[in-house]
Amino acid sequence: MKVFVTDKYRVLTFLLICTVIGMGAIFAGEDSVTVSTAPKIVPIYSVGRDDGKIAVTFDCAWGAEDMESILSTLKNHNCNATFFVLGTWAEQNPEIMKKIVADGHEIGNHSYNHTHYTAMSQNEMLSDIDKCNKAIKDTSGISPTLFRAPSGDYNNSVIETVHSKNMEYIQWSIDSLDWRNLNCEQMMERIVPKTKSGDILLFHNGTAHTAESLDKILTELEKKGFSFLKVSDLIYRDNYTIDHTGKQIKN
């Protein structure tokens, strides 16, 4: 009987421990669900409008040999574009920075030296944004109001940090993939049939075929009735919502 009683109490003790652990797991699970279901903040990918207006954007990170050609083509098409530049790129190309502004384009912040923002603390992000803004201001006279992280890398913290600087985080809805060295026809297939009013197009300078392909791409877009605005003129600044796809919708 002693053996039976001892085993009985051991069993009861074991069951009690299991119950406590199980309840802890349940409560822990509830806490993790609360954290994981926090609303995701979505940046601006496109704008809900039906007037044929779209935005052409360039990320500028390395090299500037093709910039004269790009700027010339944009001028021929009366296309005011938005250039998201690294702070280091701005410092290395001050004359191009001045020409971008002189030609009527706008300049956005693309970080100082292409660091992944989701791996940074808020203070590190703020410091990097400020450093890039200063480089842009010093070389162009412009104080940026738009931001795009390297590789389009973002999470809630990134967007909240950008917004704390009174800047808008801008993504894109049409990707040329020009950085993969696609040729003109391949880029055309990606862009022209898919573009619609309010889209934001992504290109890069310093690629193998972007400068030589840009004229044909813009020509085909114009044939479809599209015209071009800077991002700051395309987006809404107030009285809007952003849906789950990142489309800005006027209230």
Torsions phi, psi for 161 (to 5 deg): -65, -45
Q: Which of left, alpha, beta for 44 (phi over 0: left; psi -120 to 50: alpha)?
A: beta
* DSSP helix/strand/coil, 204: strand
Cβ atoms 90, 231 nearer than 8 A = no
Provide the residue count of the chain: 251
Catalytic residue among 31, 51, 59, 163: 59
Helix-strand-coil percent breakdown of the chain, rounded to 5? Answer: 50, 15, 35
Catalytic residue among 77, 105, 110, 204: 204
Is residue 244 part of the annotated active site? The answer reads no
Which stretches within 65-155 are classed as H helix? 67-76, 87-92, 94-102, 122-140
Is residue 59 part of the annotated active site? The answer reads yes
Exposure class string for 194-228: b at 16+ Cβ within 10 A, else e? ebebbbbbbbbbbbebbbebbbebbeebeeeebeb
The sign of the dihedral angle between the CA atoms of 79, 206, 210, 193 is negative
End-to-end CA distance of the chain: 78
| Enzyme catalytic residues | 59, 204
